[in-house]
Amino acid sequence: MKTKLHITVLLITILTACATTPTGRSQLIFMPDHELDSMGLQAFDNLKKEKTTSNSEQITQFVQCISNAITSEVDGDWEVVVFEDETLNAFALPGKKIGVHTGLVNLVDNQDQLASVIGHEVGHVLAKHGNERMSQKMGVQMGISLVTAVAAPQTALGQTAISLLGVGAQYGVIMPFSRLHESEADFIGLDLMAKAGFNPLESITLWKKMAQASQGAQPAEFLSTHPSHATRIEDLQAQMPQALKLQQQANASGKTPHCLK
C-alpha cells in the first residue's frame, strides 16, 4: 500500500514538474520560482558584499543601457552591477539580477558584442537552467534546504547552492552550465538581442574574440563547457536569418539602441 502511495506521489510530482523552455524543450523542474528568486537575491547580495563594484560611471552606464534594452524584451526592471574584475565573465541570476565583469567590458568593441553575452546570460534565467540543474542534482528535499543555505555561502551546502545557480563560491568564477544549456542560452540570447534592436551578426565576432582570449594566459572561464568554437559559430550562423529578421522588425518599430562604451 505504501509503495503504491509513494509511486502515485512520485508520478504526480513528475507530472506537475514538467515545463517547457523558450526553445520548446521539455524539462523537469521541482523548485518553485519564488524560492529560486530568493536564492538569486541572496547570492547577489553576497556578491556585492564580497566583490568590488566599478566606480566608472561611463562603464556602468554602458552596461546598464545594454541590459535595459535586453530586459525590456522580457519583464524589465533588472538590477545591474558591474564588478571590478578582469576575468571575462558575466552572469544573470533568478530574481532579476545581472552582473558583468570589467574584463569583459574591456574586451568588447561595441554595444552589440556585449549584448550577445548579456542576452545569453538572461537566456539561462528565462530557460530556468539553474532550477533544472538543481532539481536534477539535488532532488526536491535537498533543493528546499539549499534555499536557506545560500545565506551561508562559506558552508559546504551554501557553496553547492551558489554553484548550482551558476556562481562560484569564491564569487570570481562563473560555474559552467551543461553544453545543452549553453547552446540553448545562445539561441535565446541571439533572439533577445535582435528583438532589442542589436546587430546579431556581432555575436559571432564576440565569440571569436572570446575564443582567442581563452587561448591566452588568462583563459575565459565563461567558455569552459561551451560547445566547440566552430560548432557554436555554425549554430549561430544557422539561426542568423531569423535573428536578422527580428532585428529589422525591431529597428522598424523604433528600437535602435545607442549605448556608448
Active site residues: 121
Please state whether beta strands 90-93 and 79-83 pair in parallel, antiparallel, or not at all (unpaired): unpaired
Q: Roughly how many angstroms between the first and final C-alpha of the chain, as a whole number?
A: 66
Q: Residue type for 57, please? A: E
Strand ranges (E), the chain: 18-20, 26-28, 79-83, 90-93, 97-101
The count of other CB atoms within 10 Å of the CB of residue 187 is 21
Q: What strands, in cross-sheet order, belong to the sheet with 97-101?
A: 79-83, 97-101, 90-93
